[in-house]
């Protein structure tokens, strides 16, 4: 491995593409339409760009290219009202707690409970809402396909719906069904094509020495704009520098990941911990490595729906 060169140009540019979890400022007023409604309380912190229905122009976020990344903290018993928006792709990756996600169609609601490292990709324009029915706060990451908030439509907001019904995402109990991927009901089958269970995803090993679970891409949820994979890097493994024609993002879930940028023979590296984010712009030679004593793991978000073209090489 080439020694780290603390280049005074490359180092600050790389540092400016890192969003550390410890530096995020969670905003309890990130969703202006929730203000004044106690049941809708939740906080959000931007990592890459903005997301639908949230504030824009947050100076603490990294500049987006093809998608945005935002983390949401949902306290016990709180919810997000039933709504829809125009983005082609929006996904929720659960980091902690249990998140209940409901989809509504024709007055019926399907609810699925997601645990850590589970994901749901929201079908285009489907009315959906969130709730924390667990025993601890839920924390999840929203990945949306554009950098600009769009027009959000509410269907059961407590400002014009009975608060108790709004908390049930606008549908009474007799019209609410638990998620069952074997049920032939059309809404059940639609949701089944968009839910990813961490425990159910098959592991494949790359010749470069790391493993992957595909969440959105070939053999998994069909992506509209970006791919998502969970990457596992054993101790002592890593890859040589590679380049994409689109951006990719590392969202660390476990362990410590050493990341590096290369430019004209110069190298700069940094170490990222859990919930930190690294944004690698299109055309930037970059790599990852595990120098620790335990395996590391991160979500790789790629700004393209096309199959993987990178031929990774072990370092």
- pLDDT digit string, tens, across residues 216-243: 999 999 998 899 999 999 999 999 999 9
Please give the backbone phi and psi of residue 11, each rounded to the nearest 5 degrees, phi first.
-60, -50
| pLDDT > 50? residue 99 | yes
Q: How many angstroms separate the CA atoms of 193 and 248, rounded?
A: 24
- Kindly give, in sequence order, each residue whose CB lies less than 8 Å from that of residue 299, ignoring residues fewer than 6 positions away: 93, 141, 215, 228, 229, 230, 231, 249, 250, 251, 253
Q: How many angstroms separate the CA atoms of 26 and 305, rounded?
A: 30
Percentage of the chain lying above the pLDDT 90 cut = 80
Give the Cα-Cα-Cα angle 148, 217, 70 (nearest 5 degrees). Answer: 30
Q: How many angstroms separate the CA atoms of 40 and 51, rounded?
A: 17
Please give the average per-residue pLDDT across 1-13, as a whole number: 64
Give the Cα-Cα-Cα angle 148, 153, 154 (nearest 5 degrees). Answer: 130
Residue whose C-alpha is closest to residue 122's, from 98, 152, 142: 142
Per DSSP, what are the bridge partners of residue 267? 262
pLDDT at res. 270: 98
pLDDT at res. 6: 46
Q: How many angstroms separate the CA atoms of 52 and 82, rounded?
A: 14
In whole numbers, what is the pLDDT of the chain averaged over residues? 92
Please give the average per-residue pLDDT across 288-302, as a whole number: 96
Please give the average per-residue pLDDT across 56-73, as a whole number: 81
Give 10-61 pLDDT, tens digit per residue: 999 999 999 999 999 899 988 888 888 989 999 999 999 865 555 545 666 8
Please give the average per-residue pLDDT across 74-96, as a whole number: 92
Q: How many angstroms separate the CA atoms of 308 and 178, rounded?
A: 35
- Helix (H) or strand (E) holding 164, with range, is helix 163-167
Q: How many angstroms separate the CA atoms of 164 and 83, rounded?
A: 16
pLDDT at res. 32: 84
| Lowest-confidence segment of 30-39, 122-131, 139-148, 278-287 by average pLDDT | 139-148
- What is the reported pTM? 0.92
Give 234-275 pLDDT, tens digit per residue: 999 999 999 999 999 999 999 999 999 999 999 999 999 999
Within a 10 A sphere around the Cβ of 209, how many other Cβ atoms?
17
Longest dimension (CA), the chain: 65
In 232-300, which residue ranges form alpha helices assigned H by DSSP? Answer: none
Q: How many angstroms separate the CA atoms of 132 and 130, rounded?
A: 7
Please give the average per-residue pLDDT across 89-99, as a whole number: 95
- Helix (H) or strand (E) holding 187, with range, is helix 186-192
| pLDDT > 80? residue 201 | yes
Please give the average per-residue pLDDT across 109-122, as a whole number: 97
- Tell me the pLDDT band of 150, cut-offs 50, 70 and 90: low
Please give the average per-residue pLDDT across 141-169, as a whole number: 87
- Tell me the pLDDT band of 4, cut-offs 50, 70 and 90: very low
Residue whose C-alpha is closest to residue 191's, from 116, 132, 110: 110
Rg (CA), the chain: 20
- Per the CB < 8 A criterion, the answer to whether 247 and 280 are in contact is yes
């Amino acid at each position: 491995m080439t020694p780290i060169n603390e280049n005074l140009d490359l180092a600050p540019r790389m540092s400016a593409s890192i969003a550390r979890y410890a530096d995020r400022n969670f905003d309890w007023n990130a969703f202006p339409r929730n203000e004044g409604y106690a049941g809708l309380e939740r906080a959000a912190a931007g990592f890459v760009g903005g997301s639908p229905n949230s504030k824009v122009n947050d100076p603490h976020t990294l500049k987006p290219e093809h998608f945005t990344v935002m983390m949401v903290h949902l306290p016990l018993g709180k919810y997000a009202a039933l709504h829809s928006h125009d983005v082609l792709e929006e996904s929720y990756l659960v980091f902690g707690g249990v998140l209940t996600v409901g989809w509504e169609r024709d007055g019926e609601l399907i609810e699925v409970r997601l645990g850590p490292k589970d994901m749901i990709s929201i079908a285009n324009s489907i009315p959906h809402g969130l709730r924390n029915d667990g025993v601890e706060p839920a924390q999840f990451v929203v990945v949306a396909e554009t950098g600009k908030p769009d027009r959000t439509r509410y269907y059961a907001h407590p400002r014009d719906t009975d608060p108790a019904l709004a908390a049930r995402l606008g549908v009474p109990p007799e019209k609410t069904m638990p998620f069952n991927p074997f049920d032939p009901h059309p809404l059940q089958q639609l949701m089944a094509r968009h839910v990813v269970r961490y425990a159910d995803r098959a592991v494949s090993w790359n010749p470069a020495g790391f493993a992957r679970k595909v969440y959105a891409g070939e053999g998994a949820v069909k992506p509209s704009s970006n791919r998502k994979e969970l990457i596992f890097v054993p101790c002592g493994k890593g890859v040589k520098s590679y380049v994409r024609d689109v951006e990719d993002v590392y969202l660390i879930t476990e362990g410590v990941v050493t990341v590096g940028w290369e430019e004209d023979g110069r190298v700069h590296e940094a170490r990222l911990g859990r919930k930190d984010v690294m944004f690698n712009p299109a055309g930037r030679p970059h790599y990852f490595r595990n120098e620790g004593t335990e395996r590391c793991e991160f979500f790789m978000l790629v700004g393209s729906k096309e199959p993987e073209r990178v031929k990774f090489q072990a370092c």
